[in-house]
Amino acid sequence: MRFNLNKIKSSIFYFFVYILIAAAAFSIENYVEEYEKAKLMYESNEYEKSNFILEKILYSFKDYKSANILYLKSKYKNNHREYFYNNYNKVFDYDDKYKLELYHFCIENKEIHIAINIYDSIKYKNDIEDDFMKYLYDYGIKSMIVDKYFYYSMLDIIEKDKREAERIYFEAIQDLKKGNRYLAQTKIITAIDIFSENFLYHLKLGQIYADDKNYYLAEKKFLDALELQKAKIVYYNLFKLYAETNNDIRMYEVSKEILDLKEVKRKLREIYIQNQENRINVRIVKFTDDSVYLNRRGIENVNIGDSFYLVRDSENIVDIVTGEKLATMYENVAKLRVIKKHDKIVIFKIIEKYNDLSVNSEYVLKEEKLYKF
């Protein structure tokens, strides 16, 4: 019997191709089955179990789009928000149906800025445009509706809101001049509720809070204003707030944006001179995992239980016109507390450690100042 070698080779080749196709089909079928299990776990709020199954799927089949979308949602629901924020943009390469799924998820969970980014990436959005614009309006992001998306059918109502908010705000300013602070505060809050995108409303409300020593709310409103408008007057109010509340590090950071203001330079010089007079330079004799040993020279008057920050200079703030040094910024290395005093050594317990310690570096010992908020 004679065999056709080419036919045999061809048969063997197709046999292996069939095996590979069958194996792939079996594998995909398994992935789909596992995905359905993960989906069931997700819908039952069993997010840990859902994540575990999805991680196994994606380890072998990383391009499984439905699994990737479900994994993002499951990680978010399981409080792994950072993963979601860092990886949601992979959906930009997917088809619209996957983008829409994640878009609706963001809407449901009030992740407005991510929803905007996904909406912008959707190719065909006619079916969701009206609802999206209403969502932006309800969320208070009104200017974007006209300025970015040119959705002019809402222009009249947005302009009406602007005018009403302005009217109430100017009433509030008159109330302030008459000394009616609480009434003015209430009206400004109302103006913000109507039209939240005017940075002056947030700034003025922050100033009222700051005058009342409500520093936490003052900072929040100043930061809200800054997000809307990087205006010098906002930076200056933040600078004053941080200076008044002993928040030196934030004060220095903000000051770099407004070094041309005379009042800022004056305040920085004042603090710099005071810091130089009170500066305690120290060197570490030795340190352990939980203790630092400092030479007693210059710190003879510390008492058991006193708290300090061990810091090091990091950056000079300089007058951009004259070159004058206005301040020296610093970074915290460790928070310390005095636990023992000897003739030549003071021992500190390390309460918190922020950076590595070294016996060769120069440090400054700063008395702990409590923030006022």
User: Confidence band (pLDDT; 50, 70, 90) for 10?
Assistant: low
Task: Report yes or no on 170 lying in a domain.
Answer: no
Model pLDDT for residues 43-99, shown as the tens digit of each residue = 999 999 999 999 999 988 888 999 999 999 999 999 999 999 999 999 999 999 999
Task: Report yes or no on 214 lying in a domain.
Answer: no
Structurally, the chain folds into a number of domains equal to 2
Task: Report yes or no on 146 lying in a domain.
Answer: no
| Distance from C-alpha of 248 to C-alpha of 371, rounded to nearest angstrom | 9
Task: Report yes or no on 355 lying in a domain.
Answer: yes
Domain-terminating residue out of 124, 139, 171: 124
- When pLDDT is averaged across residues 350-369 and rounded to a whole number, the result is 90
Task: Report yes or no on 172 lying in a domain.
Answer: no
Domain-terminating residue out of 78, 94, 124: 124
* Best CA proximity match to 260, nearest among 242, 236, 237: 236
Model pLDDT for residues 147-171, shown as the tens digit of each residue = 999 999 999 999 999 999 999 999 9
Domain-terminating residue out of 98, 124, 150: 124
Give me the residues paired with residue 337 across strands.
307, 349
Q: What CATH number should be reported for the domain holding residue 290?
A: 2.40.10
Task: Report yes or no on 88 lying in a domain.
Answer: yes
Model pLDDT for residues 14-52, shown as the tens digit of each residue = 444 444 443 344 356 677 888 999 999 999 999 999 999
Residue 342 is part of which domain span? 282-367
| Distance from C-alpha of 148 to C-alpha of 127, rounded to nearest angstrom | 19
Global pTM reads 0.79
Q: What's the full length of the chain, in residues?
A: 373
Task: Report yes or no on 120 lying in a domain.
Answer: yes
Q: What CATH number should be reported for the domain holding residue 51?
A: 1.25.40
